[in-house]
Structure 1
């Protein structure tokens, strides 16, 4: 879906008129109308406000143009429900909710995450633990959090 359709759907899902939506976002009704017609798009600050007020990620508001992955463990972040949150409840689109929550990282070191992965990830081919650990480490080392 394109942003204009997402914004219109978001407004309708919340049973709001364009005027009511505008009041929540402190913009004019005409601005909401132009967004929904694809004439303009909300600015960065308005996107942040939309994200907070309607509990959706900015990536979702933009039509999911980026394929997000957790920069700690590498898990695809295909749905907003998988994304982490900051202490104020806003989305942090760089991490999954299992690696980062309310301003805190779950894994204090890469070794702690490697231990978890080796012990919990399926191993249908019975690869030796040391080889699995090395494979996971190579992958994790490419992620922003572990560089």
Structure 2
């Protein structure tokens, strides 16, 4: 098990980038925000450690994405989410896998933005060249971004 932990400690896990739709400009209150992680970072990663007479292979696989949205809400997704595609998806529609709808503007938040944090939990398994194997403690990677959330104001003019 010590060799498996050494291999686990040598894993270099990618840091997921936070992707949202809309991707630029402010987010509107009451409009669904799509959340996803790039497929390039949502993939298994392996490492090996050798000992006299054998080796241990360790693989970490992303399992869940936990989004802390900055407004007190947490969204947990069992996968990377679905990237928004303007040609396919309705900008006012909800994500089929991972999303959030803000109910309040970020005006009162720190610096006028919500601090969004993403934590990806990785399950870690090991396998010995001699046939043993099992599961190790999970790993977690995290990253953060800021989202400005605003309210859209309507203006009614009298023509009379």
Normalised-by-shorter TM-score class? under 0.3
More helix by share: 1
User: Normalized against structure 1, the TM-score is what?
Assistant: 0.22
Q: Which structure would you say has the larger RCO, counting Cα contacts within 8 Å and 6 or more residues apart?
A: 2
Structure number with greater Rg is 2
User: Normalized against structure 2, the TM-score is what?
Assistant: 0.21
